[in-house]
Chain A
Amino acid sequence: MAGSLYALLEENHLAYPTLHNNAAAMAEYAVLLQQTCEIDNYGVPFCMTVEAEDFGAEVDLGSPLKDPRVTRYPAATLDQVLAIHPAACPRHRVTLDAIARLTGGDVPVIGNLTGPTSLLTSLMEPTEVYRAMAKDEKKVALALTHLTAHLIRFAEEQVAAGADMLVLADPGSSGDIIGGGHFRRLVAPSLLAIVEAVKVCGKPVVLHICGNIMPLAPELAEIPWDALSVDSVVSLSKLQVHFPERTLMGNVSTHLLAVSSGDKIYQAAGKAVEVSAILAPACGLSTTTLPENIRSMVRAARDAAGKLPKYSVPGVS
């Protein structure tokens, strides 16, 4: 998921927050981001709050420097989460409309989904969710199943609107936070359900989880993601040992992309692309990231392209 970049908004005098709540503006910004930064895809939406709003969360769309965020949870307990019947919020439809506007050309369109655990921690106090994992795992499982059903529907809608692939990002399920046991019992089944649903639609799916995912390798191996996107703390070469035939994505530090400049970024990206088949930032970009820094990363990928085996993502032309 790429957020909005302050520099792009300023240089192009784009109104805010219309890129988040207007389909034409969302599509226009996705094109601008792709062209200016020379990346290989369009991606929408630009935040991880649409699904939360579907469940009744109050969202502040922020400012050119501040990403959208949940400002009021719709629930205080897991029972209350279970009682919510989600409904497509206006931005849910904006996202689908933007995908429809973007699709059909030469540039692949990537849709984005917030993972179930991350969504759950956007609907009620995260501390209570994590507490419940230790005290009432069964109820957490029920809540995640409830959320997963909605996420699968949103995924199917994005594919129907024309998304060529989906990125499923679930930073809230990081093994650093919850450990391998809870990940195995609670998170992996929910992620598996979504990934399988996307693949039934005939599209590839990238799974992104933040933090040190090495301890989660056995569980991740059971999920049929097409690419695994990882954080900058992960050693791609060590991770590849666990997934010798599978595609890794990442993992240029977003802090580096935000504060550093050309040469350092190029070098870091060059290191990452020795292993990663899809070069990408390690996580969500800071709004202060300069487009030229992303271009440095892209340049590293292009310069290294000749050294990599030819690769194509199934389903993406």
Chain B
Amino acid sequence: MLKRRVQILKEIAAAVVAMDENGVVHLAREALHQGVKANEIIMEGLSKGMEVVGKRYESGEYFIPQMLVASDAMYAAIEVLKPHLTGTAGKSAGRIVIGVVEGDTHDIGKNLVKIMLESSGFTVHDLGRDVPLQKFIEEAEAVQAQMICLSSLMTTAMSGMKEVVRMLKTRGLRHKYKVMVGGEPISQAFADAIEADGYAANAVSAVKKAKELLSGDETRSIMF
């Protein structure tokens, strides 16, 4: 039984990497049928697969089209597994509010960050694009987030990131939220200048930075 469990989890991870949605769904059902817990299928199968996908993205083998299709396979399997998640599942690795800053409608990067954060156990509240600055804070307060992630591809919108940090300070809320920034024109130097807590160059490093910034805040368990 142990060998079959390990084997099927490996096959699930491999199917995610292969972007085989039908295969992943089929294997997820098979794993459930064999008695593997849904929580474990997600964490040890799907999430592990997405980690490999992330590595291939970092190495330049996979790009956005492949990331999207691989994540489709992951999400399709999660839909199958959701009804079988046990009561111990519920805590997430952290609650994050994410969006593209007001004035900018480019959201591919933000969408990828969301996918990778969710696949790693974070609960992500996605505000979409061209998000009014105060909305980030309102949503963070409403969902009791731990982190606000600000994305922008455009130089014009970058000042909005600085403004969000300033608004948090003005309202006495700065200490409540980690702020992470990212996007094509963003840099560590910019993040430091606006006193953000972190900067991530891509979706994979965003996960690493989020884990680093929120370590100790929540027990890693399951998302969704």
Query: Judging by beta carbons under 8 Å apart, are A133 and B65 in contact?
Result: yes
Within 8 A of B (CB), among A285-301: 285-288
The docked-state distance in angstroms from the alpha carbon of A258 to that of B103 is 15
Within 8 A of A (CB), among B65-82: 65-66, 68-69, 72
User: Does B144 count as interface, using CB distance less than 8 angstroms?
Assistant: no
* Contact status of A177 and B72, CB under 8 A, knowing A255-B185, A288-B159: no
Query: Judging by beta carbons under 8 Å apart, are B108 and A66 in contact?
Result: no
Contacts of A284 on B, CB cut-off 8 Å?
154
Contacts of B155 on A, CB cut-off 8 Å?
254-255, 258-259, 285-286, 288
Query: Judging by beta carbons under 8 Å apart, are B154 and A286 in contact?
Result: yes
User: Does A179 count as interface, using CB distance less than 8 angstroms?
Assistant: yes
Within 8 A of B (CB), among A228-261: 253-255, 258-259
Contacts of A179 on B, CB cut-off 8 Å?
60, 62-63, 65-66
* Contact status of A66 and B103, CB under 8 A, knowing A127-B108, A178-B65: yes
> A137 CB to closest chain B CB, in angstroms?
9
The docked-state distance in angstroms from the alpha carbon of A287 to that of B159 is 12
User: Does B156 count as interface, using CB distance less than 8 angstroms?
Assistant: yes
User: Does B52 count as interface, using CB distance less than 8 angstroms?
Assistant: no
Query: Judging by beta carbons under 8 Å apart, are A178 and B63 in contact?
Result: yes
For B70, the closest partner residue in chain A by CB is: A134
* Contact status of A126 and B108, CB under 8 A, knowing A67-B156, A286-B154, A288-B159: yes
Highest count of chain B CB atoms <10 Å: which of A66, A132, A254, A287: A66
User: Does B107 count as interface, using CB distance less than 8 angstroms?
Assistant: yes
User: Does A13 count as interface, using CB distance less than 8 angstroms?
Assistant: no
For B57, the closest partner residue in chain A by CB is: A179
Query: Judging by beta carbons under 8 Å apart, are B156 and A134 in contact?
Result: no
> B114 CB to closest chain A CB, in angstroms?
11
* Contact status of A287 and B108, CB under 8 A, knowing A131-B65, A215-B60: no
Q: Give a binary string over A50-85; 1 marks a CB under 8 Å from any B CB, 0 the rest.
A: 000000000000000111011000000000000000
The docked-state distance in angstroms from the alpha carbon of A156 to that of B159 is 39
Contacts of B158 on A, CB cut-off 8 Å?
255
User: Does B64 count as interface, using CB distance less than 8 angstroms?
Assistant: yes
> B33 CB to closest chain A CB, in angstroms?
28
* Contact status of A134 and B68, CB under 8 A, knowing A66-B156, A255-B158: yes
User: Does B221 count as interface, using CB distance less than 8 angstroms?
Assistant: no
The docked-state distance in angstroms from the alpha carbon of A67 to that of B184 is 18
Query: Judging by beta carbons under 8 Å apart, are A134 and B65 in contact?
Result: yes
The docked-state distance in angstroms from the alpha carbon of A121 to that of B69 is 17
The docked-state distance in angstroms from the alpha carbon of A245 to that of B14 is 46
Query: Judging by beta carbons under 8 Å apart, are A131 and B69 in contact?
Result: yes
Query: Judging by beta carbons under 8 Å apart, are B105 and A69 in contact?
Result: yes
The docked-state distance in angstroms from the alpha carbon of A288 to that of B62 is 35
Contacts of A211 on B, CB cut-off 8 Å?
184
Query: Judging by beta carbons under 8 Å apart, are A134 and B69 in contact?
Result: yes
Q: Give a binary string over B112-154; 1 marks a CB under 8 Å from any A CB, 0 the rest.
A: 0000000000000000001000000000000000000000001
Contacts of A126 on B, CB cut-off 8 Å?
106-108
8 closest A-B pairs (Cβ-Cβ)? A179-B63, A134-B65, A286-B155, A133-B65, A286-B156, A134-B69, A131-B68, A255-B155
With A126-B107, A134-B19, A255-B190 given, can you name 19 additional A-B contacts, CB distance below 8 Å?
A65-B103, A65-B156, A66-B103, A66-B156, A69-B130, A126-B106, A127-B108, A130-B65, A131-B72, A133-B65, A134-B66, A134-B68, A177-B63, A179-B63, A182-B65, A215-B60, A255-B155, A258-B155, A288-B156
